[in-house]
Amino acid sequence: MALAGTFDERLTTDRDRVRFAIGDTDDPTWLFADATIDAVLASEGSVQAAVLYLARGLIARFAQQPVVITAQGETQDYRDRLTTWQRIVDTAEAAIAAALEQPVTSRTSASVPSRATW
């Protein structure tokens, strides 16, 4: 069953950015349906978190399959895809960690009176 997917190379939506980041840009061989990506974006809350979630899912899914397949005299070697998705996971984790470490700055300042003036 073919998955329903779309991709705009102008990266106009969060879904396009997620698809681009995980390499899911080829119709008709979508790795995820649009509805799945949209659901993950909604549940995870950001493009980077969705990329992390989906890349981990790809590793789990494809780790169960053979990495080298020979059929009718042709050999397909998929060894690098798990390594590539692991790099995507590592990059997304680093980006999320860096974003969490950013100091929060306030545009306003407030002073707290000393206890003696309460």
Copy the structure tokens of residue 102.
């950013």
- pLDDT tens track for 33-55: 999 999 999 999 999 999 999 99
Max CA-CA distance within the chain?
A: 87
Helix spans in the chain (H)? 14-22, 34-44, 47-62, 79-101
Radius of gyration of the chain (CA): 21
- pLDDT tens track for 58-67: 999 998 888 8
